[in-house]
Amino acid sequence: MTVEKIEIYARHNVLGGRLQVCGKEPMTGYYRSGCCDTGKDDLGVHAICTLVSREFLEFSRATGNDLSTAQAGFVGLQPGDRWCLCAERWKEAYDAGVAPKVFLASTHEAALNIVSLEELKAHAVDFEEN
């Protein structure tokens, strides 16, 4: 049996600090670690820690990615859940005026390859890790 090593990019947030946990209920992240870690195998760049809203969930469903319906291995999201979102999907929602709020300390720096820090800051919420 061969064990494949997963290469995770450096764990820094968009502010240059240490990447913080995004959410564990439901467990989020491409690697289901609770963090918005991303790596070479994460083609969607699940890097933006969001506070999902009803408007965003409706937008996502209407554009072909139903995140609110439970499926095998996935509980489905509800407004108020924290979720590591694909950077391109967040940008689409931003352009459509329905981008969910963002936790900058929990958003991986790789998101900056797709969205600007200014765009993220415009949707940032205050957050302190307890």
The number of residues in the chain equals 130
Is the separation of the CB atoms in 106 and 63 below 8 Å? no
**What's the pTM?**
0.88
Q: What is the pLDDT of residues 49-103, one digit of tens each?
A: 999 999 999 999 999 999 999 988 888 999 999 999 999 999 999 999 999 999 9
Instruction: Tell whether the model's pLDDT for residue 6 goes beyond 60.
Output: no
Of 3-7, 17-21, 47-51, 101-105, least confident by mean pLDDT is 3-7
Q: Of 118, 45, 43, which Cα lies nearest the Cα of 85?
A: 45
Confidence of residue 130 (pLDDT cuts 50, 70, 90): very low
Position 3 pLDDT exceeds 80: no
CATH number of 1-12+21-130: 3.30.56.110
Token pair, residue 3, equals: 């064990």
Is a pLDDT exceeding 90 seen at residue 15? yes
Helix (H, G, I), strand (E, B) or coil at 35: coil
Average pLDDT, the chain: 90
Angle at 87 between CA 14 and CA 30, to 5 degrees: 90
